[in-house]
Amino acid sequence: MIHFENVIKRYGDFEALKGVSLEVAEGQLVTLLGPSGCGKTTLLRMVNRLIEPSEGTVFVGEQDVRKLDEVELRRGIGYVIQSIGLFPHMSVLENVMVVPRLLGWSKEKREARAREMLGLVGLEPQTFAGRFPRELSGGQAQRVGLARALAADPPVLLMDEPFGAVDPPTRERLQDEFLKLQSELRKTVLFVTHDLEEAVKISDRICLMNVGQVEQYDTPEVLLRSPKTPFVQDFLGPSRTLLRLSRIPLNGLVEPLGTHRPAVSIKSSAMARDAFSLLLANGIRNLGVTDEGGQVVGLVRLESLLAAASEEDAPAAPVRSESP
């Protein structure tokens, strides 16, 4: 859906991007991850032509973006930025209606759509429609930013550190809700972040970048299991195994309860990492697993967590790497 072909960006003598090729499949959420200055935002902004490449081509769909009218192109792509950039002189509803209005939708249609979008991102339209941006909390403002990006139902979404400016609990909630939304909407999302945990949590695939180049492009599981370069290894750090556990759903590790009655239990919808953390915290080896109703239905053992963490050939999606 989005395709970069040998993209180079020069600013004078400085090469911000040194020939990046990358393919983002339709309906996938791909994060551009890397330290600041690695070129991830530059790469993102080339998709809607806020920055033009010095060399190389960017395709959206099958179209070379340089052959499209830039204003038309941008109206067809959702755009969310860290500082949100809500229009302070417009109400929340007017902010969400911006792109539908630019596309010439009728008043009724765009307003109905904007209200629907507010509901979708968890903001009660009755309460929030008439507010001005300065009357919103950081989390609320970011929800409005997301609603605004989604309002015209674009197939592609560009998100530049969208959750970077909110406090950690809000951030986690926004990530969870966004993931849930994405599982329904199946947009093609390009997502810039410098936060490894965030990338691991939300990505279908991670493109790890450094000094204008792609270091590794893989699913989070593969990236964490087999880093390809010293830089990747270094960037992932010593806790990458823990991060791997955060991608493994607990329900695959549950065993029958038997006669044993564990003192502590965890929801079956949790991730292996949460279970591991709970075991460490309580100094125990077995953990009860409860179903939706809170009934203990099984048990997870420390040994199976260790096995899952060290498994070298865990079943993973077939991976095609595009970088050295």
Partner 1 sequence: MSTRTAAPLPTRRYAGFPLLAPLLLWMVLLFLFAQQAWWKVALSGLFPSARSPIFERETLLNLALQHLAITAGAGALVILIGLPLAVFVTRPVGAAFRPLAENIVAVGQTFPPVAVLVLALPFFGFGSTGAVLALFLYGLLPVVRNSLEAFASLPADVLDAARGMGYSRWQTLWRVELPLALPVILAGVRTSLVLILATATVAPLVGGGGLGVPIIAGLAVSNLAFVAQGAIAVASLALLLDWTMGRLEKALTPWRN
Give the residue with the Cβ less far from partner 1, 90 or 314: 90
Least distance to partner 1 from the beta carbon of 146, Å? 13
Closest distance of CB 52 from partner 1, Å: 13
Q: Phi first, then psi: what are they for 298, rounded to 5°?
A: -165, -165
Whichever of 60 and 214 has its CB closer to partner 1, that residue is 60
Nearer to partner 1, 2 or 93 (CB): 93
**143 Cβ partners below 8 Å, 6+ apart?**
121, 122, 123, 174
Q: Under 8 Å CB-to-CB from 78, ≥6 apart: which residues?
A: 149, 150, 152, 154, 156, 157, 158, 187
SS3 call for 20: strand
Q: Kind of pairing, strands 265-267 and 286-290?
A: parallel
Q: In angstroms, what is the minimal distance from the CB of 129 to partner 1?
A: 6
Amino acid, res. 17 = L
Question: Could you tell me the smallest distance in angstroms from the CB atom of residue 214 to partner 1?
Answer: 24
Closest approach of partner 1 to the CB of residue 135, in Å: 9
Residue from 32, 42, 52 nearest 202 by CA: 32
- Chain residues in the site for partner 1 (CB under 8 A): 48, 50, 71-76, 79, 81, 83-91, 93-94, 98-99, 102, 107-108, 111-112, 115, 125-126, 129-130, 132-134, 148, 158
Rounded distance, CA 155 to CA 27, Å?
8
Nearer to partner 1, 106 or 183 (CB): 106
Q: Which is nearer to partner 1, 108 or 313 (by Cβ)? A: 108
CA distance 81 to 291: 38
- Closest contact distance (angstroms) between CB of 134 and partner 1 is 7
Q: Closer CB to partner 1, residue 67 or residue 320?
A: 67
**Do 29 and 78 meet the contact criterion of CB atoms below 8 Å apart?**
no
H-only helix segments in the chain: 40-47, 70-75, 92-96, 98-102, 107-120, 125-128, 138-150, 168-185, 196-202, 220-225, 230-236, 240-245, 272-282, 302-310
Q: Which residue's CB is nearer to partner 1, number 149 or number 300?
A: 149
CB of 83 to partner 1, least distance (A): 4
Smallest gap from residue 120 Cβ to partner 1 (A): 16
Round to whole Å and give the CA distance between 28 and 19.
23
- For residue 75, the minimal CB distance to partner 1 (Å) is 3
**Residue 152 vs 208, nearer CB to partner 1:** 152
Closest to partner 1 by CB, 13 or 108? 108
CB 209, CB 192: distance < 8 Å: no
User: Residues 6 or more apart from 51 whose CB is under 8 A from it?
Assistant: 9, 42, 45
